[in-house]
Amino acid sequence: MEIITSTQNPKIKQLLALQEKSKLRRECGLFVVEGRRELQRCIDAGFEPDTIFFCPEIANISVPGGHNLSQRTATGTGSYIRISKELYKKIAYREGTEGVIAEVKIKERKLEDLKVGDNPLIVVLESVEKPGNLGAVLRSADAAGVDAVLVCDPLTDLFNPNLIRASLGAAFSVPCVSCTSDEAISWLKERNIQILTAQLQDSDWYYDIDMKCGTAIVIGTEATGLTGVWRKAADAHIKIPMLGTVDSLNASVSAAILMYEAVRQRNG
């Protein structure tokens, strides 16, 4: 098997470009996943690898795949490319990703594809801009057993590698859909899911609101909060106590607090 050693190789150039350019990801229908754990969760969620770059010295394998990952990917159509240890260290974003980077075929999820049961817990993010924040929310959503995350009018795409890294693969384990705010509101209303908007104005303490029924927790941007369309659509406005001098929390922190309040109520 050929071993690639240079960043000037066309295949490596494409890999690096896919990490940086959202437009190229859309055009090629591919995104990048780094790390054995993240790739395994990606495959478990039904995504199909197109090309898997692996470094056998780091991955501790001598043939394409390895462990459970080889069993899952060997049946697909993805190809394997061996890369040198020196090259892997140059192109890997972080240490500890076990010598595996893959280009994976994009599979868009749609609102109509979401299957939620009785009394679902939904998280809605409006116009989220920082992929790291979205990744952190997805990680908390996975831990809290959230049924779905709706990303409305996003300013970052759902296949941004920083998002996938920050989520530790929860971007695949939690159903996540990109849509407009109007589409999300209609979807929630049709299913009688109450809408709780996190905002300081005209709000009740979050722990005073019943979240045991079907609930959507809606978080806006840290800079401007939620737009009027969500404030008007809300069944209740909720707020988190702010006892210091600042008047807002990081969006992912706020989301985690509110998710776990729902968990507390439902399991208390």
Express each pLDDT in 249-263 by its tens digit.
Answer: 889 999 999 999 999
The ranges assigned to domains in the chain are: 3-105, 111-267
Q: Which CATH superfamily is domain 3-105 in?
A: Ribosomal protein L30/S12 (3.30.1330.30)
What SS3 class is residue 156? coil
Express each pLDDT in 237-246 by its tens digit.
Answer: 999 998 888 8
Express each pLDDT in 78-88 by its tens digit.
Answer: 788 999 999 99
Comparing 66 with 48, which gets the higher pLDDT?
48
Q: What percent of the chain is modeled with pLDDT above 70?
A: 91
Residue 1: pLDDT band (50, 70, 90) is low
Express each pLDDT in 112-159 by its tens digit.
Answer: 999 998 999 999 999 988 899 999 999 999 999 999 999 998 888 899
Express each pLDDT in 20-37 by its tens digit.
Answer: 999 999 999 999 999 888
Q: Quick one: pLDDT at residue 96?
A: 65
Number of alpha helices (DSSP H) and beta strands (DSSP E) in the chain: 12, 12
Enter the pTM of the model. Answer: 0.88
What SS3 class is residue 109? coil
> Please, is 52 exposed, middle or buried when counting C-beta atoms within 10 Å of its C-beta (0-12, 13-18, 19+)?
buried
User: Which class would CATH give 111-267?
Assistant: alpha beta
Do the two domains 3-105 and 111-267 of this chain adopt the same fold? no
